[in-house]
Amino acid sequence: MERAQFRITLFAVMISLALGIVLGRVAFLVWEGRGWRENESLQTVRGPILDRRGITLALTEEASTIGIAPEEVVDPEFTATQVARFIDMEEAEILRRFYLYRDRKYFLLERQVDNFAAERLMELQIPGVHRNFEYRRVYPSADLAANLLGFVGQDASSALEGIERDYNDVLLESYGEPRGPSLYLTIDSLIQFRLEEALKEGFERSDAKRAVGLFMHIPTGEILAMANLPDFDPNRYNRYSASERGNWAIRLNYEPGSTVKVLMTAILLSSKSYNPGKRYVCNGKYDFETGSVRCLRGGHTYAHGSLTLEEIIRESCNVGMIKAMESVPKEELYRKMKALGLGNRTGILPEGSGETEGYLPAPENWVKSTRFYYPIGQGFSVTPIQLLRAASVIGNDGSLVHPRIVKRIVTEDGRSVEESKTAVDITPFQPEQLARVRHMMRLVVKAGTGRAANLSEIDIIGKTGTGQKSSASGYTNRYAVSFLGMFPADNPEYIGLILYDDVSGQWAGGSLAAPVFKKFVESILPIIRAPRKTYSAHRFETNPGHPAPVAENRLADFRGMSAIQALELIGKEYKTPVQFSGSGTVFKQEPPPGTPMERVNKIILYLDSQSL
């Protein structure tokens, strides 16, 4: 009896041991068999970010992690040489890590390796080299709008900067789908590219520390372009400093200088204290108790003589502007500056985005010089987006539009869950008063300090600005130079701002920023005048445009096919489940073309939305 019991127990132990070996081998083969996907069914894949045309600015794709099991490695030097061919790491660094971690059972060598490269590496079957799967964030257009978009770290569920961070929870919301929703921006990639190119020209020929370009559709408040320099490639974000990655369009606080003279003119024309037809004498210098303000030309004091209000704006006369604004009570001046949105965040991005509110002290906190500095854009600070919004009132007949950067949020199955709407605030400025300001701004471009922005193809109105930079010890010989422009002149539809921050005294808004604005507008006129049509998105991968030959036991290349073409090919050649994302033609696929079919358990095809 005892012998029988012993045999039964021994048999059970042997069966358990054999089963354990089999399961262990299966687990090893799954690992070694080129990857396993941890918690794949539970993880919501981060949704894409697209521009208004449907061009993808950020997307999530499957990637690989390459690891090393030191005790399995037969020849460290050979292994390092081969692995270095497929990952972004030098052979010497691979060897260094191998010897540093050789006492470990396993260590991660490189994350977010391209799947195609990882496939080729694993086909070599090098002992000790292992692969796992993860997701990585990809920015197809590299540095385009990078400072706005921000970036995601190696953990695809945690964004670190920009819109990626501001809308992190939105992009990871499942809505019952495996992939998060698509976030459509108001940005137009074609206009964004042209703005960045124009901005770079002035940035490279000046000594500016940073530059900002903004372009907005006035009636809706939709931001069509938001450019920053220096910029960076979010695919390699860790190679850049925080300053290079910053979105200065919403963060930079600077004293705007003479661009605000058009806002001051609007305030003056709306005030009961305004005296039409009055002339103001400029002798080149305005003295007050604690200092003085001068008009300069060629670095020397310049007297403009007797000027009308129109001539003050055309010539950007500091002394004349201060004298013209003397009649406006300081309480009224402050109240109407606040009505223009100065001193407040625009709310273009959610709380926590890093947008600053500028600096606009209330009258009770003014010092003796404040009254004389405000009219010429000194003594208070704005952000570029704040100034753009304030000036848009001039072109919008008194309505203060709320700038927008997000257009809509669409789930993977095509449901629109959120769509932004135009919102405006009423201001105390009347259309007929603002029409006069626009007339003055046209004179600036035709015959004044903004002549370098004049275009024959379309009438531009604008104002130059050269704001002196301040420090703890007072004003310096560094400047923020800018040009604020709108078009068409009679009924402005678009407004733009070109700003170069922290330049030397050899530069002014009229000589540096104005010609850049002209070049930018000239380059985008064919775009904004063109009839609405479908545009093809630029991708990392090329579209073959026709079905590629299907290699035996390998996954076909579906890129360039319609959904129907791809479905017909899959039904003919494979018996594998397929998932479509988007509509139009296939621009990307998972797994990549050429993957051995024994490793394919599901095909995911991403299609271009092809929508404006």
* Residue pointed to by tokens 């003589």: 305
Sign of dihedral through CA atoms 179, 162, 244, 500?
Answer: positive
Candidates 332, 368, 45; CA nearest to 178 is 45
8 Å CB contact between 319 and 286: yes
Predicted confidence (pLDDT) at residue 179 exceeds the cutoff of 80: yes
8 Å CB contact between 309 and 325: no
CA dihedral 168, 174, 180, 182 (to 10 degrees): -100
Composition of the chain by helix, strand, coil, percent to 5: 35, 25, 40
* 503-535 residues labelled b (16+ CB within 10 A) or e (exposed): beeebbbbbbbbbbbbbbbebbeeebeeeeeeb
Of residues 432 and 178, more confidence is placed in 432
Separation CA 494–CA 585 (nearest Å): 33
Separation CA 441–CA 394 (nearest Å): 10
Share of the chain above pLDDT 70, in %: 88
Separation CA 492–CA 437 (nearest Å): 12
Separation CA 221–CA 402 (nearest Å): 6
Q: How many CA atoms lie within 13 A of 470 on its CB side?
A: 14
Predicted confidence (pLDDT) at residue 25 exceeds the cutoff of 90: no
- The interaxial angle of helices 431-447 and 384-395, nearest 10 deg, is 110
Lowest-confidence region among 270-274, 366-370, 401-405, 551-555: 551-555
- Per-residue pLDDT, 536: 36
In CATH terms, the fold of domain 61-140 is Penicillin-binding protein 2a (Domain 2) (3.90.1310)
How many beta carbons lie within 10 A of that of residue 556, not counting itself?
22
- Per-residue pLDDT, 583: 59
Q: Which amino acid is at 41?
A: S
Candidates 201, 208, 202, 203; CA nearest to 504 is 208
Predicted confidence (pLDDT) at residue 37 exceeds the cutoff of 70: no
Q: How confident is the model at residue 33 (pLDDT cuts 50, 70, 90)?
A: very low
Per-residue pLDDT reduced to its tens digit, 539-577? 333 333 344 556 678 888 888 787 777 877 887 788 777
Per-residue pLDDT reduced to its tens digit, 439-475? 999 999 999 999 999 999 999 999 999 998 988 777 8
Candidates 548, 559, 549, 569; CA nearest to 591 is 559
Separation CA 144–CA 464 (nearest Å): 27
Which alpha helices (H) appear in 85-187, and where do they start and end?
91-100, 115-122, 146-149, 162-166, 168-171
Range 311-322 average pLDDT = 96
Separation CA 543–CA 45 (nearest Å): 24
Residue 108 phi, psi dihedral angles, 5° rounding: -75, 130
Of residues 183 and 30, more confidence is placed in 183
- Per-residue pLDDT, 313: 97
Separation CA 502–CA 257 (nearest Å): 13
Q: pTM surpassing 0.85? A: no
Q: Which amino acid is at 415?
A: R
CA dihedral 46, 47, 50, 52 (to 10 degrees): -150
Separation CA 119–CA 125 (nearest Å): 10
Sorted by where each begins, the domain ranges of the chain are 1-32, 61-140, 541-612
Range 421-446 average pLDDT = 96
Separation CA 44–CA 173 (nearest Å): 7
Per-residue pLDDT reduced to its tens digit, 248-277? 999 999 999 999 999 999 999 999 999 998
Candidates 357, 359, 419; CA nearest to 389 is 357
Residues found in the chain: 612
8 Å CB contact between 256 and 465: yes
Q: How confident is the model at residue 608 (pLDDT cuts 50, 70, 90)?
A: low
Q: How confident is the model at residue 16 (pLDDT cuts 50, 70, 90)?
A: low
Separation CA 466–CA 505 (nearest Å): 9
Q: How many CA atoms lie within 13 A of 151 on its CB side?
A: 26
Separation CA 353–CA 47 (nearest Å): 19
* Residue pointed to by tokens 């009649």: 327
Q: How far is CA 285 from CA 56, 99, 296, 302, 470, in A?
A: 54, 73, 9, 8, 20
Distance of CA 198 to the CA centre of its chain: 17
Where on the phi/psi map is residue 222: left (φ > 0), alpha (ψ -120 to 50), or beta?
A: beta
Separation CA 590–CA 555 (nearest Å): 10
- Per-residue pLDDT, 453: 97
Angle, vertex CA 232, rays to CA 227 and CA 237, nearest 5:
135
Predicted confidence (pLDDT) at residue 534 exceeds the cutoff of 90: no
Mean pLDDT of the chain: 87
